[in-house]
Amino acid sequence: MRHLEAAYSRDVEIRIEDEKLARESAAITVKEFADDGVVYETGDLRVIAFTVDHGAAIKPAYGYRIEYQGRVAVISGDTRYNENVVKYGTATDLLIHEVAMARSELLEEPSIQRIVNHHTSPREAGFVFARAKPSLPPIRTW
């Protein structure tokens, strides 16, 4: 986070000056976590982090369930097909799921195969939506 803070320091300074923000409003607070569960809660807002599978070398990887005033949205994060996305994505108002695909001729390339293998295929995403049964139908697919 120190490096991210440094990378955006000029932007933060401009926003503090231009928007007349208190410096503490732009401060980054880090809270480490290692297990599925609530990572932020205030008033009617609750954020739950859950592990997902982005490959053996890419750990940890997380998805997020956001609950606010009776509404629920889930963001899968970068993941392969994962039961936790189904579990935390069940009966949501909005389920946002990443998908990766490539033309068949590109899939012959080992480097492309490695990238695609770290993500969910369109077919697998369909299984997630069928099993999680979000409250609203998908609006747009790519």
Q: What is the pLDDT of residues 58-97, one digit of tens each?
A: 999 999 999 999 999 999 999 999 999 999 999 899 999 9
Decide if pLDDT at 117 tops 70.
yes
Q: What is the pLDDT of residues 1-34, one digit of tens each?
A: 889 889 999 999 998 999 988 888 888 888 888 8
Q: Choose among 120, 42, 112, 113: nearest CA to 84.
A: 120
Decide if pLDDT at 140 tops 70.
no
Q: Which CATH class is domain 31-132?
A: alpha beta
Distances 135 to 65, 126, 132 between C-alpha atoms, Å = 14, 15, 9
Give residue limits of the domains in the chain. 1-30, 31-132
Res 10: pLDDT: 94
Decide if pLDDT at 137 tops 80.
no
For residue 63, give every residue at least 6 positions away whose Cβ sits within 8 Å of its Cβ, in sequence order, or none.
49, 50, 51, 52, 74, 75, 76, 77, 79, 82, 84, 85, 88
Query: Omega of the bond prior to 134 within 30 degrees of 0, cis?
Result: no
With residues binned 3-state (H G I as helix, E B as strand, rest as coil), the percentages for the chain, rounded to 5, are 35, 20, 45
